[in-house]
């Protein structure tokens, strides 16, 4: 699947949904606790991940992977862990504000 900015993806196993804010610079496999993400319009079981650990995908958070340059925005939270090519993605931190000195 071609991943471009604005692509809406969802996990076939849980409720997690994301929008691609910045596409990867190379081909990459996007997964949620091992299940490959699919287009949100595709039929999905949403049974959940029996082996999901951690806090899962959090609504409104941006997730990045610097190795392939992808940025995702979580639009629907879920228990699964987002990953790119098997590496868990990290939550993007806020930009520091300039000092007012």
Distances (CA, A) of 36 to 29, 81, 84, 101: 7, 11, 10, 48
At 101, is the secondary structure helix, strand, or coil?
Answer: coil
* pTM given for the model: 0.84
65-95 pLDDT, tens digit per residue, is 999 999 999 999 988 899 999 999 999 988 8
20-78 pLDDT, tens digit per residue, is 999 999 889 999 988 899 998 888 776 766 566 678 899 999 999 999 999 999 999 98
- Chain centroid to Cα 44, Å, comes to 16
Task: Report d(CA 66, CA 77) in Å as an integer.
Answer: 22
Q: How many residues does the chain have?
A: 101
- Domain count along the chain: 1
Q: Is residue 70 part of a domain?
A: yes
Nearest CA to 76 among 44, 53, 50, 51? 44
Q: What confidence score (pLDDT) does residue 52 get?
A: 60
Q: Is 11 a residue whose pLDDT tops 80?
A: yes
Q: Is residue 49 part of a domain?
A: yes
Residue 48 is classified by DSSP as -
| Domain residue limits at 62 | 8-91
Q: What confidence score (pLDDT) does residue 31 get?
A: 93
Q: Is residue 3 part of a domain?
A: no
Q: What confidence score (pLDDT) does residue 30 get?
A: 94
The two tokens of residue 88 are 């868990």
Q: Is residue 35 part of a domain?
A: yes
Q: Is residue 58 part of a domain?
A: yes
Q: Is residue 60 part of a domain?
A: yes
Q: Is residue 74 part of a domain?
A: yes
Q: Is residue 98 part of a domain?
A: no
């Amino acid at each position: 699947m071609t991943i471009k900015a604005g692509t809406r993806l969802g996990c076939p196993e849980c409720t997690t949904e994301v929008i691609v804010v910045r596409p990867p610079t190379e081909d990459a496999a996007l997964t949620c606790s091992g299940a490959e993400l699919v287009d949100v319009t595709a039929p999905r079981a949403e049974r959940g991940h029996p082996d999901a650990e951690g806090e899962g995908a959090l609504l409104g958070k941006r997730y990045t992977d610097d190795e392939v340059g992808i940025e995702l925005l979580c639009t629907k939270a879920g228990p699964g862990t987002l990953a790119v090519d098997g590496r868990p993605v990290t939550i993007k931190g806020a930009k520091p504000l300039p000092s007012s000195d």
